[in-house]
Amino acid sequence: MARQNTLDALRADPEISVLIIGGGVNGIGTFRDLALNGVDALLVERGDFGSGASAASSHMLHGGIRYLENGEFRLVNEALRERDRMLLNAPHYAKPLRTTIPIFRWFSGLLNAPLKFLNLLDRPGERGALVIKIGLTFYDFLVRKERAMPQHEFRLREAALREYPGLNPAIICAASYYDAWMPSPERICLEMTLDAEAANSRCQALNYVSAIAGDGEGVVLRDELCGAEYRVKPKVVINAAGPWIDFVNEDVGAGGQRFISGTKGSHLILDQPELLAAARDSEIFFENDDGRIVLILPFFNRVMIGTTDIRIDNPDEARITDAEIDYLLAMVSKVFPRVRVDQSQIVFSFSGVRPLPYSEGGATGQISRDHSIRTLPASGKRAYPVHSLIGGKWTAFRAFSEQAADQALDDLDQPRTVSTENISIGGGRAYPRTDAERDAWLGDLRRRTKLPLPRLRQLFERYGTRAEDIAAFIAVGNDHALKHHPSYSRREIEFMLQFEKIEHLDDLLLRRTLIAMLGETTRDLISELAHIYAESLGWNDERKVNEVERVIDILRDKHRVAL
């Protein structure tokens, strides 16, 4: 249903079973689960889908080997299983990733876990080879039954330096193991939203709609595009506002308790071919001098480096600081001392806030990364229960969403009929797994659309099997490459404008594509896109000018990109 039609329908009939506030991965995962289980749900997201913490992660789908040290076995076990499910259910956006840990000591860090258990440790000591060996053996053990990727391996110094000649010669050995990464988390969020709506016509998701107040019977929503307000009457509310959970509870009349202690994490994207070559397609995961675990991640022709972990009260204020930039650039020399990195190589940066459970003081790295649901039951003052989704990893969103959906199903006295465990996401459906299957798939699409094979291959790489719809759309109109970004075409952009819930220029540049993140945005490209938007969405000149200013401001303010 078109956005305005959904809003009109809510005005006419405000009763809904479940209202989900927040369109990050956890809200969207819950929305999808409820949709598949036949519940009518409304999801509202005050910005664009997947634009909060879910856009700011290190892009890892991982068990989180570091959390073993904190004794978070349940979380690691669940996350490993969910990682492997993502490789199966979203193979277009979840990719195996070889990860290498350069190691500088043999025995240190052995007491980290016991000391942490006894509450005698605030900052972990350096992790030596033995501790890492124990962790990786346990990691392998947890997935021994459904092993999707190779087991870990250790190499002594000489062998490690042969493979990674740029590594710091002070290492004593290196360990490699497999995790996974996701280049486009925001597209996974979008595709799950579209899947949910397609599965259940009584489920709608609206971006740029905020929950702003509650009066005990209903929740007031504001359309952020025009300021219009609507009042809905839910039976159950799920607060999936991530780091904003306490603010939302306060606004909708469910405040009073503090659930969240957010910590900010920032990342840089560098254009540094020497660093890219040194990492040799592996994530380099290592302990910085201050005991923090940091990473260097090859990201197409760029390199991502991250991250920091700093307490912050207001997530709206999360921006990378000069001190964080210095910290992130300096850490590279610990593992690749001969590679020069500097500010001129930064093409993009981003910051976000981890919605961690409330805690006072202590080292941020020691706060639990596990998830939990805090329920405020319906009361005399409030007709509906509010379930707040606290914490969690991107990786484990499906399991967390299932637990949230179970709470809502219980409230509604409805049974679970479908599990999302084996349900593919968007362009991961009917995904050709082998080279031969992929070639056959592409060949068939070529026969039907007459588009050149290299172009179809590119669409497949970008969108998985969703490329089928996009190619069909491209084939029936006049298409041409964009003048200022020729790897995209006009019809490809028009497809996203028509079918991917786009409202602003930044939705496309930051979340439907990787253009901004790879540092490929230019003023000329923005003008060209604004022109296409105007023709497709009926923008007048004033809207065009405002939108161009808006995206330039966002890039400067939130991503330190000066155009």
Ligand X SMILES: Cc1cc2nc3c(=O)[nH]c(=O)nc-3n(C[C@H](O)[C@H](O)[C@H](O)COP(=O)(O)OP(=O)(O)OC[C@H]3O[C@@H](n4cnc5c(N)ncnc54)[C@H](O)[C@@H]3O)c2cc1C
Residues that bind ligand X (CB under 6 A): 21-27, 44-47, 51-54, 56-60, 210-211, 240-244, 248, 265, 307, 352-355, 389, 392-395
Look at residue 510 and give its three-state secondary structure: helix
Of 171 and 509, CB closest to ligand X = 509
Contact 249, 255 (CB under 8 A): yes
Closer Cβ to ligand X, 325 or 532, answer by number: 325
Give the nearer residue to ligand X in terms of CB position, either 173 or 182: 182
In single-letter form, the type of residue at position 477 comes to: G
The residue with tokens 């995904």 is 431
Q: Which helix (H) or strand (E) holds 352?
A: strand 346-354
The first and second tokens of residue 484, run together, are: 């200022």
Least gap, CB of 189 to ligand X (angstroms) = 8
Structure letter (DSSP) for residue 157: H
- For residue 480, CA distances in Å to 72, 475, 491 come to 52, 11, 8
The answer to whether 102 and 174 have CB atoms below 8 angstroms apart is: yes
Assign 41 to helix, strand or coil: strand
Residue placing its CB nearer to ligand X in the complex, 211 or 341: 211
Identity of the residue, 250 or 469, whose beta carbon is nearer to ligand X in the bound complex: 250
Q: Tokens representing 321?
A: 């600081």
Partnered with residue 374 across adjacent β-strands are 388
For 56-85, the three-class secondary structure string (H helix, E strand, C coil) is: CCCCEECCCCHHHHCCCHHHHHHHHHHHHH
Give the length of the chain.
563
What does the angle CA 8 – CA 11 – CA 12 come to, to the nearest 5 degrees?
90
Closest CB to ligand X among residues 39, 56: 56
**Closer residue to ligand X (CB): 25 or 408:** 25
**What token pair was written down for 269?**
């994207």
Considering the complex, what minimum distance in angstroms separates the CB of residue 446 from ligand X? Answer: 37
Using the minimum distance from each CB to ligand X, give the nearer residue, 404 or 505.
404
Give the shortest CB-130-to-ligand X separation in angstroms. 26
Compare residues 244 and 488 and give the one whose CB is closer to ligand X: 244
DSSP 8-state assignment for residue 156: E
- The packing angle between helices 435-449 and 453-463, to 10°, is 120
* Shortest distance (Å) from residue 396 CB to ligand X: 7
Helix boundaries (H) for 176-271: 185-199, 245-251
| Separation CA 472–CA 465 (nearest Å) | 12
Q: How far is the CB of 220 from ligand X (least distance, A)?
A: 10
Smallest distance from ligand X to CB 438, Å: 28
Comparing CB distances to ligand X, the nearer of 22 and 128 is 22
- Minimum distance from CB of 338 to ligand X (Å)? 28
Return the H-helix or E-strand segment holding 559: helix 541-559
Tell me how far, at minimum, the Cβ of 50 lies from ligand X, in Å: 7
209's CB contacts (< 8 A; 6+ apart) are: 7, 44, 45, 46, 221, 222, 223, 224
H-helix or E-strand containing 251? helix 245-251
Q: Is 229 or 524 the residue whose CB approaches ligand X more closely?
A: 229
Using the minimum distance from each CB to ligand X, give the nearer residue, 47 or 426: 47
Q: Which residues of 222-246 are buried (b: 16+ CB within 10 A; e: fewer)?
A: bbbeeeeebebebbbbbbbbbbbbb
| Token pair belonging to 536 | 């497709």
Minimum CB–partner distance for residue 181 and ligand X (Å): 8
Smallest distance from ligand X to CB 27, Å: 5
CB 214, min distance to ligand X, A? 11
In the Cβ-directed half-sphere of 174, how many Cα atoms lie within 13 Å?
28
* Residue 26 or 37 having the CB closest to ligand X: 26
Give how far Cα 181 sits from Cα of 11, 56, 85, 95, 150, Å. 41, 13, 13, 5, 16
Q: How far is the CB of 414 from ligand X (least distance, A)?
A: 23
Using CB atoms, what's the residue nearest to ligand X? 24
CB of 234 to ligand X, least distance (A): 13
Nearest distance in Å: CB 94, ligand X:
11
By C-beta, is 175 or 328 nearer to ligand X? 328
Residues 6+ apart with CB under 8 A from 317: none
The CB-of-299 to ligand X minimum distance in angstroms stands at 13
Does residue 121 contact residue 112 with C-beta atoms inside 8 Å? Answer: yes
258 close to 293: Cβ distance less than 8 angstroms: no
Compute the radius of gyration of the chain from its Cα atoms: 24
Q: What are phi and psi of 403, to 5 degrees?
A: -65, -40
* 100 vs 307 by CB, closer to ligand X: 307
